Amino acid sequence: MERQIINKKKRVFSVEPNKIPPSEVFTRKYTSHLVPALKKLNMNKNSSQVNQLTVKHEVDMALALSAQEFAWSRFLLQKLSSSNNPTTATSSSSNGIRIQERSGKEGGGDEDGEIEEKLRELQKLLPGGEEMNVEEMLSEIGTYIKCLELQTIALKSMVQDTT
């Protein structure tokens, strides 16, 4: 039955396959990941207390799953799966070594140092940002921002729906 629904979904969408805006694609994917996960959480938890952490986990998981085209989603998935298995240690590789390369070329004064710092901070915000070089990180940040925005809208309307 579920497959039927999914197939019907596809059929409905494929009327104009090239013109679905990617934001819509992402939003749909996101809700289709998150909603069942939340329902499962609901059903599995016998106690009425739904752990906030698990919800956050599901939220992040849905984000990562719906945006698999981007590099940061891979890192996010890694992080999530590693947080599930505490045995795997997350190795944080060179923290901004690539940025230091850049500052060498710039012959940095104070201003450049500031910029490097900010770039490093930005890298920390982005999942997996520390393992990318600057250019890659900048483009990934763009997509990350977009997906975050869509995610907040999705969550907002989900919360609104029920209150």
Near another protein in 114-153, by CB under 8 A:
114-115, 118-119, 121-122, 125-126, 134-136, 138-139, 141-146, 148-153
Q: How far apart are the first and last CA of the chain?
A: 30
Structure tokens at 29: 């994917």
Helix (H, G, I), strand (E, B) or coil at 161: helix
Q: Express the helix, strand and coil content of the chain in percent, nearest 5 each.
A: 75, 0, 25
Tell me: does residue 84 bind another protein (CB under 8 A): no
Tell me: does residue 6 bind another protein (CB under 8 A): yes
Q: In angstroms, what is the minimal distance from the CB of 81 to another protein? A: 19
Tell me: does residue 27 bind another protein (CB under 8 A): yes
Q: Looking at 70, 72, 75, 76, which residue binds another protein (CB under 8 A)?
A: 70
Q: Which stretch binds another protein (CB under 8 A): 50-58, 76-84, 88-96?
A: 50-58
Tokens 């940025």 — which residue?
A: 99
Residue type, 84: N
- Closer of 82 and 155 to another protein (Cβ): 155
**Which among 72, 71, 73 has a CA at the least distance from the CA of 29?**
73
CA 10 vs. chain centroid, Å, equals 24
- Closer of 9 and 81 to another protein (Cβ): 9
Residues 85-114 that bind another protein (CB under 8 A): 105, 111, 114
Residue type, 71: A
